[in-house]
Amino acid sequence: MINKERIRKEFLELIQIRCSTHDEREIGDLLTKRLQELGGTVKEDQAGEKLGGNCGNLVADFPATAGMEKVPTVMLTAHMDCVEPCAGIHPIIENGIIRSDGTTILGSDDKAGVTAILEALRQLREQGLPHGPLQVVFTISEENGVHGSQNLDSSLLHADMGFTLDTHGHPGVMSYKAPGKNQIHIHIAGKAAHAGVEPEKGINAIVAAGTLLADAPQGRIDVETTCNVGRIAGGSATNVVADSCDVYYESRSRDKKKLEEITQRIVDHFKRGEKTTGCHITAEVSPDYGPYEIPQDAPAIEVASRAAKKLGFPLELEESGGGSDANHFNTYGVPTVVLGVGMTNCHTKEEYIEEKDLYDSAEWALAIVLEAAKETK
């Protein structure tokens, strides 16, 4: 039913547009035009201004076909930005696999999702297929902590169920549960001194950080909880006893209580270190997003499952270890699951996608819309 040649051509076009986080204007303008050509009413929110970027989130509304106004409203989402390096992508197609030339990422995260959604919309329009009201959301700033959807104007949303096309695995994979995440910034203040003349008068904040990190919570805590020291920075010169050091942590859990517990455990660990290191230590916690879990008998899961089975896709429900825009959409009251689109080795120069997954993702998105049209509110 879908147009494979068109999908391949559009995917290759989109991945060659540089779309760094906070610099999504070019692709945002292109997608706005295409959504409008397909009959959508597009609104751009102010999230880009809030985040210091040049483009906001795009929310497009598509009316139901005649007589289908009362069926559930479906929301399809994907994000516009990519991790670096995403400029000058040169795709190579070989044996049904699309990859970059090895100097950049490929960008299937998440142009695979964007392409699938656009093709589903085209098929609905070209074939005159009956469907209920639709919303399409293309977000910004997903790759730096899903900040685009975090700052989305949620008053624009009115969908009954949502599908975020943005995870690994072949079409048929569906994430119904994902962790929340906190950022934790630990600042350690020591005392400066000349490192060659009177080092004993100083208190080295970097050494204090290393001492405390040696037995700090790290890695997998349990099956649904993790934490990670991602970056440290400190000192000013080798001849100065470092009077400051910053430690940047993240904590994650699919259980809200466990997320709060591991976060507090990290904060308490470093605060206790004030007595043993002689440093002044502060901890700032910044929530990125909360955890969510969609009941396995929820309409969104049932609709996507029926669609996958009709297409012959092996169905796999999974609990994710990562966050996505779906975390925020669920917070906004739109039950949203994340769909696999075939992206592999994301965020690396070894990223690739099978052509078949591009086509299957578009088929799945279309089938979901058609299956939802059989539901009643």
Strand 173-178 vs strand 92-94: parallel, antiparallel, or unpaired?
A: unpaired
CA-CA distances (angstroms) from residue 34 to 31, 41, 146, 147? 5, 11, 24, 24
What is the Cα–Cα distance from 151 to 47, expressed in whole angstroms? 5
Kindly give the residue spans of alpha helices, DSSP state H, lying in the chain.
Answer: 4-15, 25-37, 47-51, 108-127, 147-150, 205-213, 256-277, 299-311, 325-331, 355-372
What is the Cα–Cα distance from 220 to 261, expressed in whole angstroms? 14
What is the Cα–Cα distance from 110 to 128, expressed in whole angstroms? 27
Helix/strand/coil percentages in the chain, nearest 5: 35, 30, 35
284 part of the active site: no
Q: Which of 142, 160, 255, 288 is catalytic?
A: 142
CB atoms within 10 A of CB 230: 11
Q: Which of 24, 81, 250, 325 is catalytic?
A: 81
Residues paired with residue 136 on neighbouring β-strands, in sequence order: 60, 76
10 part of the active site: no
CB 344 within 8 A of CB 352: yes
Q: List, by residue number, the catalytic residues.
A: 81, 142
